A and B are shown apart, each in its own frame.
Chain A
């Protein structure tokens, strides 16, 4: 399956292509879920505050589908 991945803020350190990427595409096997993808990137789950799949809130055990856009968000702070 082809998944588009966006890593925000400090999480962009984990991009496989380059840390200035806006997103990248990776291949995942059928039946993979968000948690598998995190493991593939080596991202500790506790660093991820929000998991968004196709603009909707998702959970780490949710299955991924071909063409999905997965967006991982760390903690927030602002003013």
Chain B
């Protein structure tokens, strides 16, 4: 088989059984791989109404036919499951080096079912698969876990694991691979912890067949072209933190729990500051020419110690501007803590922001938390993050997330998220298309399911006003469909979703790998199919228009000084058009005709 490895591995943790099955070619044809394949597997094999933290939930690790194919940025994998944070289907994406081992070991997907009686880890070395006792590893941070497991298995083993946060079922716990990469969002780490699965360690020596190697050699030419461009240069030099300047200038950098879109101290937590203060070197995921990774270390004169990767832009927003922390050292330390403990930096941040606002308004007190939590108090944030990860004191409650806290303390309007997941680093009042994206994403405040940045901010292929709703339903639909396909392929969104003709290039490379011609429109159709299946999954659980929401702060409170002053997100108007264009009813549920058209009837 070209592209795919042809095998799905199922591990039943309750029965301690391991099972391999041949990949159904029809599944591959319709849903490709990655997010698409995994959602279909879950939909077919699992009761959608199950408890996300119960044994009936399934946790799917999945790569795609283009993972390790030599295509641009071909080293990603995804974790797909039912989220304990949102109650919806969710998928979380990560890079690093684990995806390379996963794919070359010979598996397209690993489906984890049930629950182990005792902590275990899964060790895979090509065809060899075994469950091993992990009682000694329980409680260990993610960096130490990788070291210990590599010593116990193989020098070349790559490891994806949870830290104490996942073990304690923090609702925004992450799965960390290669110590510094994160499948972070939607609480996938909590699901892994609820199954008593500490880690998956993999070593792979297999190969990925490619139908058209001549075409794949063209990839080096495309990569060359990207590296010579301004964007290519900026990616390596600054990484995603470059965004801090762009977003701040455009009044889009969420500040003080989305009260503002501009942060005075952004210039001390941006990409330039990282270069000057903490950057060791730029780093690439396996198979990627961009080198946007930030390999960093806190300097000698810093108040804190540590090294690792990051912060990325999203963390600069969530643990920086949005909680008024204008201190790169503290922000970096919080980033490292989240990686080591295994937590999503974004929802760690939105939880802290929610708490700070609740504290400021007297809804939550020093007595509740154990100490005061004023805006910008990094020391207290560091303390609280540790408590959350370990499930200690107030950390137990805080680990349930910002929406839980806002509801519990009588101020539900304070939580800046949708469907229970906190937003990403783009303030929708000055980027309204992104607002529509947040409201209609399957797992809530997620931005990666269709980031509108290429069009609304970079103006590629042509300038688009971020402040108006014109053309935004069309844009969001297109971006969501395209991203769903990219994530089904097992490659990184960056080259394909941020550069001109990215989807055209992707369709060509997909065709070259699997040996079947696919046009741009054909791949968008596959993406549309995946997105609709996610919508069906959610609607079976009762999700509909009433859940496609944004907080009143975004739809009713006018934006502050700067670009977009006075602007709000006209969500309802955009939703009407969005649903109509998607072929969904006015309640946001896919119509039978649309499902039949997509082969989901």
Contacts and interface: CB of A to CB of B under 8 A. Distances in A.
Contacts, number: 95
B272 A9 contact: yes
Given A9-B242, A10-B238, 16 more contacts: A8-B242, A8-B245, A8-B249, A12-B272, A22-B268, A50-B249, A55-B262, A73-B250, A74-B230, A75-B231, A77-B234, A78-B246, A78-B247, A78-B314, A79-B451, A79-B494
Contact of B453 (A20, A23, A52, A76): A76
Interface string B289-307: 0001000000000000000
Given A9-B234, A50-B249, A52-B249, A78 B242 contact: yes
29 contacts: A6-B267, A8-B246, A8-B249, A9-B234, A9-B238, A9-B242, A10-B230, A10-B237, A20-B272, A22-B268, A23-B267, A50-B246, A52-B249, A52-B563, A55-B563, A57-B563, A73-B250, A74-B230, A75-B230, A76-B247, A76-B458, A77-B240, A77-B292, A78-B241, A78-B312, A79-B240, A79-B312, A79-B313, A79-B314
B230 A47 contact: yes
Interface of A: 6, 8-10, 12, 20, 22-23, 47, 49-50, 52, 55-57, 71, 73-79
A71 B266 CA distance: 13
A10 B233 contact: yes
B559 to A, nearest CB: 12
A9 B245 contact: yes
Nearest to A71: B249
Contacts of A49: 246, 458-459
B556 interface: no
B243 interface: yes
B588 to A, nearest CB: 27
Interface in B221-241: 230-231, 233-235, 237-238, 240-241
Nearest to B235: A77
Contacts of B268: 22
Contact of A75 (B458, B494, B561): B458
A55 B234 contact: no
B464 to A, nearest CB: 13
B493 interface: yes
Interface string B245-271: 111011100000000001000011011
Contacts of A73: 245-246, 249-250
Interface string B462-484: 00000000000000000000000
Nearest to A22: B267
> 6 closest pairs, A vs B, by CB?
A78-B243, A8-B245, A76-B246, A78-B240, A78-B313, A55-B562
A27 to B, nearest CB: 23
Contacts of B447: 79
Interface string B492-518: 011000100000000000000000000
Interface in B404-463: 425, 447-448, 451, 453, 457-459
Contact of A79 (B233, B237, B448): B448
Q: Indicate the member of A9, A50, A55, A71 with the most B CB atoms within 10 Å.
A: A9
B245 A55 contact: no
B307 to A, nearest CB: 22
B314 to A, nearest CB: 7
Nearest to A49: B458
Given A9-B242, A55-B262, A20 B314 contact: no
A73 to B, nearest CB: 5
B136 interface: no
A22 B276 CA distance: 12
A76 B250 CA distance: 11
Given A76-B242, A76-B243, A78-B314, A9 B563 contact: no
Interface in B298-348: 312-314
A23 B235 CA distance: 22
A35 B447 CA distance: 35
A17 B349 CA distance: 36
B137 to A, nearest CB: 30
Contacts of A6: 267
Contacts of A23: 267
Interface in B58-114: none
A53 B428 CA distance: 22
Contacts of B250: 50, 73
Contacts of A56: 562-563
Contacts of A75: 230-231, 234, 246, 458
Interface string B548-583: 000000000000011100000000000000000000
A8 B241 CA distance: 11
Given A77-B234, A78-B313, A79-B448, A8 B272 contact: yes
Contacts of A9: 234, 237-238, 242, 245-246, 271-272
